[in-house]
Amino acid sequence: MKTFGDKVKEAREILGISQGVLAQKVGVTQRSITAYETGSARPRGTTARKLARALQVSVDYLLDDDITDPLHGMEKDPYLEQVRGAYGARGEEEARILLERNLALFAGGTVSQEAKDAFFEAVMTAYVTCKEEARKTYGRKGNNKLNRSRL
């Protein structure tokens, strides 16, 4: 089983880039890359996504020591990034859970990438539609109908 640090170093070496080049691509210091590779630090949130993108691997692969396929779950990353941009980290986590729970539909069979993409698109469209309807109904925090009715 490869650790986070092992995966970062291996992916970087496969791409043939130095720690310094990777640091520039990710927007961190070379010292941070060294810390990632030695296992003394792990990035969070946006930095983890930038690191995965720069290394051309999935976020799931980097952050989960049990995942051995560098492309595992990569097809959902663009959808999750879109949700994060619109609804923040909490929205991204909700969407990630929603997708992971529904991935069981693919268990035991082979599904084309086209079918997976259509699935992710449909689930994310439903998620965004529900979030937008909730915004219309309840508004933003501190400004929703429930709060106004209590005044």
CATH number (domain holding residue 14) = 1.10.260.40
Whether 56 and 115 share a structural domain: no
Q: What pLDDT score does 46 carry? A: 86
Residue 41 — φ and ψ, nearest 5°?
Answer: -155, 155
Structure pTM? 0.70
Domain-located, residue 78: yes
* Single-letter code of the amino acid located at 115: A
Domain assignment of residue 47, given as a range: 4-63
143 and 84 in a single domain? The answer is: yes
Q: Are 128 and 98 in the same domain?
A: yes
Together in a domain, 37 and 57: yes
Domain end: 15, 40, 63, which one? 63
Are both 85 and 23 inside the same structural domain? Answer: no
The identity of residue 112, as a single letter, is S
Higher pLDDT pick, 89 / 140: 89
83 and 121 in one domain?
Answer: yes
> Which of 37, 63, 89 lies at the terminal end of a domain, its last residue?
63
Of 1-5, 43-47, 109-113, the poorest mean pLDDT is in 109-113
- Residues 83 and 144 reside in one and the same domain: yes
Q: Out of 21-30, 78-87, 121-130, 141-150, which region has the weakest mean confidence (pLDDT)?
A: 141-150
Confidence of residue 108 (pLDDT cuts 50, 70, 90): low
- Judgement on whether residues 106 and 83 belong to the same structural domain of the protein: yes
Residue-wise pLDDT tens digits, 128-137: 899 889 888 8
Residues 143 and 78 in one domain: yes
Mark which of 40, 63, 86 sits at the end of a domain. Answer: 63
CA distance 79 to 95: 9
Q: Is residue 34 part of a domain?
A: yes
Residues 52 and 102 in one domain: no
Q: What average pLDDT does this structure show over 18-36?
A: 97
DSSP string covering the chain, please? Answer: ---HHHHHHHHHHHHT--HHHHHHHHTS-HHHHHHHHHTS----HHHHHHHHHHHTS-HHHHH-TT---TTTTGGGHHHHHHHHHHHHHHHHHHHHHHHHHHGGGGTTS---HHHHHHHHHHHHHHHHHHHHHHHHHH-STTSSHHHHHT-
pLDDT digit string, tens, across residues 109-130:
677 778 877 888 888 888 889 9
% the chain with pLDDT above 70: 89
Do 100 and 53 share a structural domain? no
